[in-house]
A = this chain, B = another copy of it.
Amino acid sequence: MAKAKIINDPIHGFITIPHGLLLNCVEHPWFQRLRRIRQLGVADFVYPGALHTRFHHALGAMHLMGLAIQTLRGKGVKISDNECEAAQAAILLHDIGHGPFSHALEHSFIAGCSHERIGAMLIARMNTEFGGRLAMALEMFEGRYSRRFFHQLISSQLDVDRLDYLKRDSFFTGVIEGGVGSSRILKMLDVVDDELVIEEKGIYSVEAFLNARRIMYWQVYLHKTTVSAEAMLALLMQRARELSIENAGLRLPLSLEPFFSQTINPEKLESTPELLDAYAMLDDFDIWACVKEWLGFPDFVLNLLCKGLLDRKLFKIELGSEPISPERVKACREIIQAGCRLTSEETELLVSTGEVSNAAYVARGGHINILTRNGQIIDIAKASDLSQIDAMQKPVKKFYLCRWNPLPLQP
């Protein structure tokens, strides 16, 4: 009889990890690394409780996958024990490719490479290590497994990933309007022609889910203070790279060295095992180590960014629906330059523009299918009498201007 490890989760109660493949995954150093990558990056500058990690989220998603499969089996969908284990392994590992601060620095280390692609490389390596026992999980993760609904459970408009993270992020931030009725939605799942569907009576729960997601991205994920802190992090890494290239004597943690001395593209990452190993060592702590260390480095801009992040003196930010004009940026830089007697170069990293979008939260492929009482399958946008369902699934883009606020320097 299989033993199991039990983990206390304030969200779902107790999470059971069966001995065997799933526990092996959890105990793997690459998975343990997720303990050191926060789910919400720097959102704790706004919501002090938002310190939870991808480790915790991955366990929660695995738990929900178990419940989803239990429901589906209860409705007559045949799922083998192997498939169940593979689906749970796949969702357990779905975030393993994330780097430090997840989205904020997503392309800082490997140019043009999504975390999903890196994740697939890492799972493939683990599969070799585990003697092929992750093969089916990898197929499901990449959407190659014959029964499509497994991939939909892992990654679709309404997958267990989102069911866990919305509930979890709501819990730890305290934004209670963002909570979703995961249990109810899970009970409404069914599979028709290998496609995941939601029973019609779950339609209001799905609407509530879409609304909760909307609340969360504007109130939390794309909160302007969070955006400002993330922009500062990116500027910090940019300035550090510049100083490295100049050989200015900037001290780097060992862990970051491989990523500062060269530009790495996905192909190189995939073909160089040591690079993948090095990537799989990176975590939030490495970046914070830099922030602490570089505080002592004699560069005005670097220093300013480090101190700002440590003391929560964040750049002032405006977020709007119109792009920021170059004139506006120039004007801002001139004010700073004049007021603080800086060089023009120095002000370049003190005013930053960019765009944020909810695309990551809405644009995942596919529809949410509703199974009506008389057995038809229709898109939720048609099944609901609410006209905005479609609107809520379209990406929205906002533009920001983020700049150092030098007033405190003035008398």
Contacts and interface: CB of A to CB of B under 8 A. Distances in A.
Interface residues of A, number: 80
A272 interface: no
A48 B44 contact: no
Interface in A198-213: 204-205, 207-209, 211-212
A331 interface: no
A14 B184 contact: yes
Contacts of A211: 207-208, 211
Contacts of A209: 177
A342 B181 CA distance: 46
A6 interface: yes
Interface stretch (A50-58, A86-94, A133-141): A50-58
A4 B47 CA distance: 16
Interface in A372-395: 385-388, 391-392
A1 B177 contact: no
A20 to B, nearest CB: 14
A53 B51 contact: yes
A204 B180 contact: no
A10 to B, nearest CB: 4
List of 4 A-B pairs having minimum Cβ-Cβ separation, nearest first: A289-B289, A10-B174, A177-B208, A388-B388
22 contacts: A4-B74, A7-B48, A8-B46, A8-B47, A8-B174, A10-B171, A14-B187, A16-B74, A36-B288, A51-B51, A176-B179, A176-B181, A177-B180, A177-B181, A204-B215, A204-B218, A214-B386, A254-B296, A285-B291, A386-B388, A386-B392, A387-B388
Interface of A: 1-2, 4, 6-11, 13-14, 16, 27, 29, 32-33, 35-36, 44, 46-49, 51-53, 55-56, 59, 74-76, 171-177, 179-181, 183-184, 187, 204-205, 207-209, 211-212, 214-215, 218-219, 253-255, 281, 283, 285-286, 288-289, 291-293, 295-296, 310-312, 385-388, 391-392, 396
